[in-house]
Each structure stands twice: as C-alpha cells, then as structure tokens.
Copies of this chain bind each other. A is one copy, B any other.
Amino acid sequence: MPNIRDHIPANLPQEVFTDLVSMPGCRIERILSRGQTSPESGWYDQDEHEWVLLLEGASELTFEDGEVVRLGPGDYLNIPAHRRHRVSWTDPEQTSVWLAVFYG
C-alpha cells in the first residue's frame, strides 16, 4: 500500500514532483519543498485549474493581483486556470508536502 509520506528524502536540494495519477483532464501530483520558492521572475500561468492541499509543512503563495496566502497543514485552495501565482516561501526547517490536482 503506497503512502503519501513514502520516499521523503532527508535532504531536499530541489523540489521533487511525483505524478500519482496522470490522465487527460486530471493529474494528481505530490510536491515536496523545503525552502524552495518559484523563480522571482516567473509566474505559474497554467492552462488547467489546480486544487492544492498542503498536507504538512508551511508555505506561502503570492498571486499577481497582490493576494498573499499562508498555508499550514490541511489548508487547501483552488487556483483557477491562468490565475498567475508563485510559491513565495516554503519553510526551510521542515518539508512541505503538497497534493496538487490539475483538472479541466
């Protein structure tokens, strides 16, 4: 039985993205972060909607429209397609475990 906490490395020099489901119209991904952020210059601008749940850790998303949201364990939100955003902070002291569902 696979577990969402399987294979979390002790050191995380870069983010780790793992597809759990990949189908047309629906992709489920686990993302591990530890201190990483999106490049300062870049916004995610996605063709798909994204529903994201922070399972563990602490992170922050910033939207191009100025909204900033801080996420703790269990917090979730929906990011409509083409709502530009970036990961502006992830806690460097613990691993953030995200579950992201891309759809539509």
Q: A44 in the interface, Cβ–Cβ < 8 Å? A: no
Tell me the A residues contacting B by CB distance below 8 Å: 1-5, 20-21, 23, 25-26, 28, 49, 51, 53, 55, 69-71, 74-78, 99, 101, 103-104
Establish whether residues B5 and A74, one from each chain, have CB atoms under 8 Å apart when the complex forms. yes
Residues of B near A71 (CB, < 8 A) are 1
Taken together as a complex, chains A and B put the C-alpha atoms of A42 and B10 apart, in Å, by 44
Task: Decide: A21 near B103, CB < 8 A? Known: A28-B51, A53-B4.
Answer: yes
Establish whether residues B76 and A2, one from each chain, have CB atoms under 8 Å apart when the complex forms. yes
Residues of B near A55 (CB, < 8 A) are 55
Nearest chain B CB to A21's CB is how many angstroms away? 5
